[in-house]
Amino acid sequence: MQPEEANKFSTLSKAAAILRIPLHGVAKVLRSRDGLHDQKDRVGYLMVLPYILHITIFLGYPLAFAFVLIFHRWNIYTPMKWVGLGNIKLLLTDPLVWKALINTLYFLLIHIPLQLVVALGLAQLLNQKIRGRAFFRASYFMPVVVSGVVVTMLWQQLYASETGLINVLLQRVGLPGIGWLTDRRYAMPAIAIMATWKNVGLYVVLFLVGLQGISRDLYEAAELDGASAWQNFRLITVPMLNPTIMLVLVLSTIGGFSLFIEPYVMTGGGPANSTLSGILYLYKQAFFFSKMGYATTVGFFWAMMIFVVVLLQRRFVETEAV
Amino acid sequence: MKRFLLYAILTVGALVFLYPFVWMLAATLKPELEIAGFNPLSSHFTLENYRFVLQKLPILRGFGNSLLVSIAVTTSVIVFGSMVGYALSRLHFRGRDLVFNLALATMMIPAQLTLIPLYTMMVKFGWVNSYLALIVPTMMSSYAALLFRQFFQSVPQSLIEAARLDGCSDWRILFTIVFPLSKPAIITVAILTFMGIWNDVLWPLMVIRDERLMTMPLMVTLFAVGGQAEARLGAQLAAATLLALPVIGAYLFLQRHLIESIATSGMKN
């Protein structure tokens, strides 16, 4: 159980789960048969007991309670009030929920292709006999380990309209500066670029592992057939890396749906709600307006959206395992 | 020529990822007016920004809080996770597969769904503004349990049988025989858990209002978002630098372990 959803490492496990555990895993829980095991190790119960108690209290109960909250209005301090489908009706007609969803999809539309191209490109370059590979790999990985708050505060300065390093750089080469965080057209792309910078090192390493797993024989056979470098890349490298690409997609998607600290620190969701994210909206509903029922409903909707997007990605991108 | 181009691209890449950190550090050491611009060096070296941050924020206390919470959670996740992993991989008891499948299923529950109910629970328990809210809900991890289970499966059964013949209890087998053999798994779980807790802001933001109990990233976040920094860029960046330093320091030493742990957690199941 990990409430710190906003952060990448806790989401890794979830992504692995979504990727590899077919849905019938849930069904199996319900009809588990292991009467065949002998019963000699009663100490096993003691060893799993703390864990079972813990997930019952801190995961099972909140999960069940979520489905109570969805149908109630509640500010924690006064009694709950039953509202039936009120929260869900409100959600479906709440323009800000849809705004947050569109913002998130916009983020993913920029973030995912950028991430894939940069990560795969750098991994390809590193997957050769070169000196200092460990150094390059470690430098690309550096932002991955640094706290998102630091990265956000740093990029806030880099993006500053007048004094920011990026606009200074643009003006040096004769381009006009951009109001990265003040123009509603650029604010979300700015966050997407920053998120790519922060995470891409992880994907470079993942792709590198994937590339090293591809047999040399395949390329040698292709060479005999006179394949070009581009054909090699498209017909061997990309299909062989499909599981890694899928993983990158899922992790980036979960990351996109978990955006919180970036808009919270950089823009507060603005300008004109152009960087409002689902978690930021949920947070505001719960902590500015004390609407626990509605915030839970938003969280439920958000969780459903993650499943939908990931399932669509699996449907269209995942090929049979090689 | 091709080699030259290759190294040129890789080096530019390294600069793109490293230079902003250098710039950040440099910016904290110069007067406010000189922060803009490429040149990291300034004629007026000053520690004024750090003095300001240390005066406004109990940042050392925040560091201590972060350390306390991260260590407590990491220790607990390792101890309890390895117990579950051992039971699931090495012991036979009715309901074992049920526990295993339950652990798998819990990983599919998105945190967004339970975030608010869990918060209301903290309020009802009276745990808001206490270390308990920061530590207890994350004390166990299904992911760690499954990772230990998988790793323990590779421990030779003969070793365990031999220990049993010597009258060793399963507790002793786990903590004195299996543990020393499982350093890679323990390091991976430790790094992932520690970094996850250390860098988290959302949960501490929800459950802690009292500055004396805040973790370091929460303190720095509120310093940037709230008015305390008085719009001083240098001071904000100094706070961010103080937050980044321990992590970057640890990264320089544990770089290989860190990269491997984080990468394998994505690849393996």
A138 interaction partners in chain B (CB closer than 8 Å)? 255, 259
- The answer to whether A294 and A90 have CB atoms below 8 angstroms apart is yes
CA dihedral angle for residue A35, residue A38, residue A40, residue A45, rounded to 10 degrees: -30
pLDDT digits (tens, 9 = 90+) for A100-126: 999 999 999 999 999 999 999 999 999
The residue count for chain B: 269
How far is Cα of residue B82 from the mean position of the Cα atoms in its chain? Answer: 19
Is the minimum CB–CB distance between B106 and chain A shorter than 8 Å?
yes
Q: Is B42 helix (H, G, I), strand (E, B) or coil?
A: coil
Instruction: For residue B75, give how far its alpha carbon lies from the nearest alpha carbon of chain A (Å).
Output: 14
pLDDT digits (tens, 9 = 90+) for A56-76: 999 999 999 999 999 999 988
Across residues A26-30, what is the average pLDDT?
A: 48
For residue A36, pLDDT over 50 is answered with no
**What percent of chain B has a predicted confidence (pLDDT) above 90?**
55
Which pLDDT band, with edges at 50, 70 and 90, does B98 fall under?
very high
- B52 has a pLDDT exceeding 60: yes
Instruction: For residues B89 and B84, give the distance between their C-alpha atoms in angstroms, rounded to a whole number.
Output: 8
Give me the phi and psi of A81, to 5 degrees please: -125, 125
A41: three-class secondary structure by DSSP? coil
Instruction: Enumerate the β-bridge partners of residue A82.
Output: A72
Instruction: Say if A236 is an interface residue toward chain B (CB within 8 Å).
Output: no
* Chain A residues in contact with B36 (beta carbon < 8 A): 160, 162-164, 168
Q: What confidence tier does B68 reach under pLDDT thresholds 50, 70, 90? A: very high
CA distance B26 to B11: 21
User: 3-state DSSP call for residue A73?
Assistant: strand
Q: Mean pLDDT across chain B, nearest whole number?
A: 89
**A145 at B interface, C-beta within 8 A:** yes
Chain A residue numbers touching B233 (CB-CB < 8 A): 157
**pLDDT above 70 coverage of chain B, percent:** 94
Q: Minimal Cα–Cα distance from B237 to chain A, Å?
A: 7
What integer pLDDT is reported at residue B74 of this predicted model? 96
Q: How far is CA A11 from CA A248, B188, B196, in A?
A: 12, 15, 10
Interchain CB contact of A147 with B (< 8 Å): yes
What's the pLDDT score for residue B97?
92
Chain segment B156-180, per-residue pLDDT in tens: 988 988 998 988 899 999 999 999 9
Q: For residue B186, give the H/E element and its range.
A: helix B183-199
Confidence grade of residue A259 (pLDDT, cut at 50, 70, 90): very high
What Cα–Cα distance (Å) separates residue A300 from each residue in A306, A311, B55? 10, 17, 42
pLDDT on residue A9: 43
Check CB contact of B8 with chain A, cutoff 8 Å.
no
**Domains within chain B, CATH numbers bracketed:** 54-214+242-267 (1.10.3720.10)
Encode A9-31 in three state secondary structure.
Answer: HHHHHHHHHHHHCCCHHHHHHHC
CA gap A135, A130 in Å, rounded:
11
Q: Which of A15-29, A256-270, B224-238 has the lowest mean pLDDT?
A: A15-29
Q: For position A22, what pLDDT does the model report?
A: 44
Query: Cα-flanking dihedrals φ and ψ of residue B156, to 5°?
Result: -60, 135
pLDDT at B140: 94
Contact flag B113-A303 (C-beta cutoff 8 Å): yes
The model's confidence at residue B263, banded by pLDDT at 50, 70 and 90, is: confident
- Is residue B33 less than 8 Å (CB to CB) from chain A? no
Q: Which CATH architecture has domain A95-317?
A: Orthogonal Bundle (1.10)
Q: Which residues contact A188 (CB under 8 A, 6 or more apart)?
A: A103, A106, A107, A110, A274, A275
Interface check for A288 against chain B (CB to CB < 8 A): the answer is no
Which B-chain residues 194-213 have CB contacts (< 8 A) with chain A?
A: 195-203, 205-206
CA distance A86 to A72: 8
- Per the listing, tokens 């399963």 go with B170
Share of chain A above pLDDT 70, in %: 87
The residue ranking higher by pLDDT, B227 or B218, is B218
d(CA B142, CA B149): 10
Domain boundaries, chain A: 44-84, 95-317
Q: Tell me the pLDDT tens digit for each residue of B123-167.
A: 999 999 999 999 999 999 999 999 999 999 989 988 988 998 988
Q: Indicate whether B47 pLDDT > 70.
A: yes
Is A168 in contact with B38 (Cβ distance < 8 A)? Answer: yes
pLDDT of residue A78: 87
More confident residue, B259 or A13: B259
Higher pLDDT, A129 or A38: A129
Q: Residues for chain A: how many in total?
A: 322
Name the closest residue on chain A to residue B10, using Cα atoms: A136
Q: Residue A92: which H helix or E strand, with range?
A: helix A86-92
- Span A243-272, average pLDDT: 90
Over the stretch B177-221, which tens digit does the pLDDT of each residue have? 999 999 889 998 998 899 889 999 999 999 999 999 999 999 999
Which residue among B120, B138, B247 sits closest to A1, beta carbon to beta carbon? B138
Contact A303 B7 (CB under 8 A): no
Does A19 have pLDDT greater than 50?
no
Q: Which residue has the tokens 């999809």?
A: A105
CB pairs under 8 A between A and B: 350
Task: Give the span between the Cα atoms of B28 and B14, in whole angstroms.
Answer: 22
Is residue A46 predicted with pLDDT exceeding 90?
yes
Residue type, A28: K
B158 close contact with A: CB closer than 8 A = no
Q: Is pLDDT above 80 for B229?
A: no
Is B148's Cβ below 8 Å from some Cβ in A? no
Give the pLDDT of residue B151: 92
Give the pLDDT confidence score for residue A320 in this predicted structure.
Answer: 58
Which of A248, A244, A259, A263 has its CA nearest to residue A305? A259
Between B3 and A297, residue with greater pLDDT: A297
Q: Which two tokens stand for residue A18?
A: 């979504």
- Rg of the Cα atoms in chain A: 23
Beta strands in A43-120 (DSSP E): 72-73, 81-82
CA distances (Å), B36 to each of A171, A178, B30, B142, in order?
A: 13, 16, 10, 47
Residue with tokens 């719960």: A286
pLDDT digits over A168-204, tens only?
888 888 888 888 888 888 999 999 999 999 999 999 9
Q: For residue A14, name the pLDDT band (cuts at 50, 70, 90).
A: low
Give pLDDT, residue A1: 33
**How far is B49 from B35, CA to CA, in rounded Å?**
12
Q: Which residues pair with A81 in a beta bridge?
A: A73
Token pair in block for residue B210: 């009292």
Separation in Å, CA A40 to CA A43, B89, B169: 9, 14, 13
Inter-CA distances, A23 with A17, A176, B108, B201, Å: 10, 51, 10, 31
